Amino acid sequence: MKYIKFLIAGIVFGIILSKSEAISWYRIYEMFKFQSFHMYGIIGSAVVVGIGFVQLIKKTNLKNTDGNSIEFTPKKSGKYRNIIGGMLFGFGWALAGACPGPFFVLLGSGVFPILIVILGALIGVFTYHATKSKLPH
Amino acid sequence: MEFLLQPWAWYVSGPLIALVMFTMFYFGKRLGISSNLESLCAIGGAGKFNNFFKFDWRKNKWNLAFMIGLIIGGFLSSNYLSNTKSVAISEQTKIELNDLGFKNAGDTYMPTEIFTAKNLNLKTVSILLIAGFLVGFGARYAGGCTSGHAIVGLSMLELPSLISVIGFFIGGLTMTWFIYPIIFG
C-alpha cells in the first residue's frame, strides 16, 4: 500500500503527458523543426513553475511525508558525460519521437510497436553499463 | 467535462508537470523515469552478466509503481479522456512530413508508417530498436532523461542538467534536420 501514492502520481503524469500531446511523435518532430511553440511552452512553463516550487521548498524548509527536510542532491556530473550522453539521447529522442516517460504512456495507449523501442532502450542501458569503464566521463 | 476531453494547452500541461515534480519531492523522491530501465534490466537478470545490475532493485519499487502508473494513465487517457485522436500540428509540418513519405500526418498520435504492427519490417524494426538503444544508452550516460534533467535538473538550476539538455537538442536537431532526409527521403 505504501506505493499506491506513487502509482497515482504516475497515472496523473501519464494523463498529463498524453493530454498535452507530448507523447506524440509529430509534436517532437515539429519541436525540432521549430514549427510550433507547443513543446517549448510545455517544457518552458514546467521549468519556470518548477524553479518556483524548488525555491518555495527551500524558503519554507518544507518537510517531506517522512518528516525529513527535502534534499536537492545534484546528479553526478563530468566533463564529457552530459554533453556526449545528451547528444546520443537526443538522436534517439528524435528518431523514436518519444523519450522514456512517453514510452510507457504510449504502451498503455495501445501503441504496441513501442515495445521494440523499450527493448532497444534496455539493451542500450545494459550496453552502457557494460562499456562505461572505457567511456570518457 | 468538455475541457478535460480536449487536448490540453501548454500553459495548463507545463505547470501540471511541475506540480507532479513538486509532489514527488514532497513524497521524498526525485522524479526521473530512465532509472527504471536499470531496474527492469536488474529484474530481467542482467546481474548475471554485469555486477552493476546486482543492486537491490526493490528499493526502487516506488519508481516502478510510478512507471506502471504511466501505463495506466496512457490507457485511461486514450480510452476515456479523449474526444479526438488527432494532433493539431502546424501545416508546415504536415507538408514536410508528406514529402518525407508520412501520409495523414497529425491524424493520429503516432505515424502509422512506423508505429503500426502491420507496417513492421526490417527497416522500421531497425529504426525503433536503434532509437531505443540510443535513448537508453544516452540517458544513463548523461545520468538522466527529459524528466530528470530537463524538468527536475533545470528547476534546480543545475549546470550539468543544462549541458545535458543542450546535448539533447544538438542530437535531436541533427537527427531531424540532417539524418531524417537520409533515412526517410
pLDDT band with cut points at 50, 70 and 90 for residue B1: confident
Question: Given an 8 Å threshold on Cβ–Cβ distance, is A107 in contact with B74?
Answer: yes
Mean pLDDT of A49-78: 95
Q: Which of A87, A118, A130 sits opposite B132 (nearest CB)?
A: A118
Do the Cβ atoms of A23 and A102 come closer than 8 Å?
A: yes
**Residue pLDDT, tens place only, A78-133:** 999 999 999 999 999 999 999 999 999 999 999 999 999 999 999 999 999 999 99
How many whole angstroms separate alpha carbon B150 and alpha carbon A50?
11
Residue B131's pLDDT band (cuts 50, 70, 90): very high
Q: Are A31 and A39 in contact (CB under 8 A)?
A: yes
For residues A35-55, average pLDDT = 98
Cβ burial, residue B108 (10 Å; 0-12/13-18/19+):
middle
Question: How far is Cα A45 from Cα A48, in angstroms, rounded to an integer?
Answer: 5
Residues A30-53 as b or e (16 or more Cβ within 10 Å = b): bbbbebbebbebbbebbbebbeeb
Q: Write down the pLDDT at residue B2.
A: 82
Sign of CA dihedral B20, B25, B29, B35: positive
A105 contact residues in B (CB cutoff 8 A): 70-71, 73-74, 77
| Residue A63, strand partner residues | A69
Q: The cell 513538486 sits on which residue?
A: B22
Give residue A76's pLDDT. Answer: 86
Does B146 contact A11 at a Cβ distance shorter than 8 Å?
A: no
Q: How many CA atoms lie within 13 A of A38 on its CB side?
A: 24
Pick left, alpha or beta for residue B122 (phi over 0 → left; psi -120 to 50 → alpha; otherwise beta). Answer: alpha
**What is the C-alpha separation between A17 and B20, in angstroms, rounded?**
11
Instruction: Give me the pLDDT at residue B76, please.
Output: 98
The answer to whether residue A1 scores a pLDDT higher than 80 is no
Q: Does A55 touch chain B (CB under 8 A)?
A: no
One DSSP character per residue, A73-132 reads PPPP--TTHHHHHHHHHHHHHHHHT--HHHHHHHHHTT-TTHHHHHHHHHHHHHHHHHHG
Q: Provide the terminal-to-terminal Cα distance of chain B, rounded to the nearest Å.
A: 42
Mean pLDDT of B100-108: 96
From the list A60, A79, A61, A59, the residue with the least C-alpha distance to A69 is A61
Side-chain-side CA neighbours of A28 within 13 Å: the count stands at: 27
Between the alpha carbon of residue B155 and those of residues B1, B47, B158, the distances in Å are 31, 34, 8
pLDDT digits (tens, 9 = 90+) for B45-101: 999 999 999 999 999 999 999 999 999 999 999 999 999 999 999 999 999 999 999
Selected residues 97-126 of chain A with any CB under 8 Å from a CB in chain B: 97, 99-101, 103-114, 116-126
Q: Across the interface, which of A66, A85, A114 has its CB nearest the CB of B143?
A: A85
Q: What local confidence, expressed as pLDDT, does residue A52 receive?
A: 98
Q: Give yes or no for a contact between A9 and B66, defined as CB atoms under 8 angstroms apart.
A: yes
Neighbours of B182 (CB within 10 A): 7
A36 in reach of chain B (CB within 8 A):
yes
pLDDT given at position A38: 98
A61 reaches B (C-beta below 8 A): no
- CA atoms within 13 A of residue A109's CA, in its CB half-sphere: 28
Nearest to A45 among B15, B129, B132 (CB): B15
Q: Does B42 touch chain A (CB under 8 A)?
A: no
Dist CA A85 CA B146 (whole Å): 12
| Closest C-alpha among A116, A108, A31 to residue B131 | A116
Q: Work out the pLDDT band at B137, boundaries 50, 70, 90.
A: very high
**Tens of pLDDT, residues B139-185:** 999 999 999 999 999 999 999 999 999 999 999 999 999 999 999 98
Question: What's the pLDDT score for residue B185?
Answer: 80
For chain A, say whether B66 makes contact (Cβ under 8 Å).
Answer: yes
pLDDT in tens, A2-32: 999 999 999 999 999 999 999 999 999 999 9
Q: Do B37 and A32 touch (CB under 8 A)?
A: no
